[in-house]
Amino acid sequence: MTDWEWTLGGLESDKSPIWSDDNILDPSSVLLTDKVAIVTGAARGIGAATAVALARFGADLAICDREAEDMARTAAAVEALGGRCVTGLFDVRHPEPRDAWLAEVGEAFGRVDVLVNNAGGTFNSPFADINLKGEAALIAENFTQVTGFIRGCIPLMSDGGSIINVTSIEAHRAGPGFTIYSAMKAAQANLAMSLSLELAPAGIRVNCIAPDVIPTEGERMLGDESTDERSQLAPQPWLEGGSVHDCAAAIVYLAGDMSRFVTGSTIHVDGGNIAAAGWKRRTTGRYST
């Protein structure tokens, strides 16, 4: 290929790259000016940080959660940055309020450019102790609500868009005590790969971020059963700790034109833990398994 000539399946495409010799990548390419972004579970943690970060880069927001007070704070932060913000107070596991709210978002903005499927949750329990009701709740919270939001947003992405699933490192490794949650996060990652192919003709990209060791309110609620032996292990190979803003940064990248050629992929926001593959750095600096 020369001079940015490109083909799909051996046939010349009618689409051209955003950047060429006459249209060079510049700092404005990272901006999300006038884009409309939905963030689920935006009251706290990664969702709140993501909503505010998207607003800082120019997007208008539609956010939903079941925590009214914290969501109002997120909305106020978005509006303080000059962005519009439509809120929805409901449980994402329930399709009726979700679909009604998406219709409201469509009325307010006319379209959706970015969908961030952040909402989710779990609890620590051996698999054998989870009853059918608990299993159904975990599946609804960590998978079927995601497919529901995607299905509802596709008609609103008539000009293309970016869908970003917030999964977990547990989508790519075992999750003892979190079996259903881990399985559903893995399902989200596979869903993103399959949909990246199905939705490519519509100009819709689908990707994931997979966080680990990111301190959030939800993580603290799960508790920490650290032992003296475990306390001798560093939480990740990277020397600095991660935060919800690291996740927001990856999402901002995937939301905009900087990632226009990235689809069906996962960005691991985990300080190197997925690369470590079981190796842990001790506080002495040495590694052990």
Specify the CATH number for the domain of residue 76: 3.40.50.720
| Strand duo 85-89 + 11-12: pairing | unpaired
Whether 176 is covered by a domain: the verdict is yes
Q: Is residue 12 part of a domain?
A: no
Structural domain includes residue 2: no
Question: Is the pLDDT higher at 227 or at 243?
Answer: 243
Task: Confirm if 271 and 209 have CB atoms less than 8 A apart.
Answer: no
Q: What is the mean pLDDT of residues 89-114?
A: 98
* Confidence band for 6, pLDDT divided at 50, 70 and 90: very low
pLDDT, residue 286, reads 77
Q: Is residue 102 a part of any domain in this protein?
A: yes
The overall average pLDDT reported for the chain is 89
pLDDT-derived band at 226 (thresholds 50, 70, 90) equals very low
Nearest Cα neighbor of 166 from 246, 58, 78 is 246
Q: How far apart are CA 178 and CA 67, in angstroms?
A: 24
Q: Is the pLDDT of residue 2 over 50?
A: no
Residue range of the domain that includes 249? 29-212+225-288
Question: Alpha-carbon distance 196 to 206, whole Å?
Answer: 5
Q: Is 253 a catalytic residue?
A: no
Q: Comparing C-alpha atoms, which of 262, 269, 266 is closest to residue 247?
A: 269
pLDDT number for residue 235:
79
Does the pLDDT of residue 1 top 90, yes or no?
no
Section 147-176 average pLDDT: 97
- Whether 15 is in a domain gets the answer no
pLDDT band at residue 217, thresholds of 50, 70 and 90?
confident
Q: Tokens for 112? A: 């959706």
Q: How far apart are CA 172 and CA 148, in angstroms?
A: 23
- The answer to whether 114 touches 61, Cβ cutoff 8 Å, is no
Catalytic residue among 101, 109, 143, 181: 181
Number of domains within the chain: 1
Taking residues 29-39, what's their average pLDDT?
Answer: 96
